[in-house]
Structure 1
């Protein structure tokens, strides 16, 4: 399949690639791969972690997490990034992908409100306008689950799908009262001049963070490539957790649009660390109880018509100790 060549985007690799025989692999991103939300992957690439393990990664943008899963399941790419909830949705429709690592302890959906509205609880969103990126994205599903947790029907809230830019711009312009979005968009809206307030995490549906997806075929027939992808990516995540200020500089060095904006990147990474990455006992490990909770929600909402055993949605076989020293 050559459909992705025109979208090819490769970050610079700084370290020599003589350590291992290099193999090209395609990795699908649900949005443009130069966003701070994808910092673990970008930093791993910039610092040469993939190259050290013998991977040359071609980053390709798909149309959201579900599209990533479908393309990976069809064999158009070996790997992809999506919300950890995505396999629950797509496996019900016969798409053979599962999570091989999850990058954090919490879902990456933040519910940000216009501070001037003094909305401190989800119950106060009745009759309010809330933006989401789309009606088929995991951020939207996380909003629905959080509303349900608070006893609110989705029809009691004016939910508007505004796209990846409009989702935060409408809030920044005062045309929406709240936004279900990523930490990147929270910082964007505040940078545009709107003071925001975050709904406490305890009120939110605790979904799953971003994950690395691989097909059943890749797991069965190319486990060494899956292992390399997981290990290198988690090394990038580890760098963020150990030194976010330096991680922001590394990110900005990799993405020219953010050069000179290291402070903004550091702000975004701080939100990810606090609300998404958290403190995993073992980086990348997927918690069965978290998966089961998500399965119950998607099933009860009718988003999926059939469910599978919890273990069918993920594997932790590639999770383990990372190299103690960076290459």
Structure 2
């Protein structure tokens, strides 16, 4: 009798596990660069700690070639969701690509401009005639750089911009083959750890672009809202973990990405840059500020970065944000 009960219990357990696995939805999430970058820590931590699984999602990360490529792939129906900078819908929507931002990870801009301290570059205008590295000409950080140059009265022809890839962007800079770099905070830490003394262009001189965003297709928002909501809420929990305890978050990331084992101190420095410059001052995690987005939109149009002004309401939605949950 005991043997019969045990067999029945094991069968029931196996059936339950099978049902849970069957209930999970497979989700391809496109990232603008390889997923082992600390820039994507909210996503990596969310997966490592089971936040997506708790939303009945089985998320797989796949690297695209920059944020604009992510948007194009989502718009073409190759994925429902992906990551880019919040500016990206402004760039692609006028071209008929049906994507919008459904969350933005921070109230600051993610693009920072770092310079070789020995060059004594103190302002955007000092970049004239200098060489700068970016990840690619299709990544939205490149457009943020162009906007920063235009804001200072310069154009892209006044500088030498080199697209060097997600590793080359900081490696060429740290090797002093470029005087400056436009990119995300983790590349600044990489350059510092490579031995370069780095200075940052004051943030007030940088164009007020958006932080990293979660993008979704119009079709996914309309027909798969539970998937989009689950991705948003799980990712924001990963972001919240970083804000609340960057030290513990660094350990979690290093566990998920073994290449960073032993580099937790550098990870923590990177996360603190994000907390101070990108995540800071967002009252409700993930919430998109339409006034800031509109300002970015108007600047892109007025400076000719995009030729046609997209409708503001077509660029974002806050319907998946838990507005009762304030940032800690």
Give the structure-1-normalised TM-score. Answer: 0.90
Aligned equivalent of 2:42: 40
Query: Retained in 1: the 8 A contact 2:106–2:212?
Result: yes
1:57 & 1:151 partners in 2: Cα distance? Answer: 43
1:134 & 1:46 partners in 2: Cα distance? Answer: 29
1:214 & 1:103 partners in 2: Cα distance? Answer: 15
Query: Retained in 1: the 8 A contact 2:131–2:179?
Result: yes
Over 3 Å counting, the alpha-carbon distance change for 1:19 and 1:137 in structure 2 is closer
Structure 2: runs of 5 or more not aligned:
1-16
2:300 & 2:132 partners in 1: Cα distance? Answer: 21
Q: Secondary structure at 1:49's aligned position in 2? A: coil
Any runs of at least 4 consecutive aligned residues in structure 1 with deviations exceeding 4 A, and if so which?
Answer: 16-20, 321-324
Larger Rg: 2
Aligned equivalent of 1:153: 155
1:220 and 2:258 correspond:
no
Aligned equivalent of 1:275: 277
Aligned equivalent of 2:4: none
2:168 & 2:34 partners in 1: Cα distance? Answer: 16
Aligned equivalent of 1:202: 204
2:320 to 314, 318, 321: 318
Structure 1: runs of 5 or more not aligned:
1-15
Give the structure-2-normalised TM-score. Answer: 0.90
2:230 & 2:324 partners in 1: Cα distance? Answer: 11
Aligned equivalent of 1:244: 246
1:145 & 1:303 partners in 2: Cα distance? Answer: 8
Within 5 Å, which residues of 2 pair with 1:136-151? 136-151=138-153
Query: Retained in 2: the 8 A contact 1:20–1:52?
Result: no
- Deviation readout 1:268-311 (Å, 9 max, x if unpaired): 11111111111201000001111112211221232322222211
1:201 & 1:19 partners in 2: Cα distance? Answer: 46
Offset at 1:157? 1.7
2:243 & 2:134 partners in 1: Cα distance? Answer: 28
- Which stretch has the larger CA shift, 311-320 or 21-30? 21-30
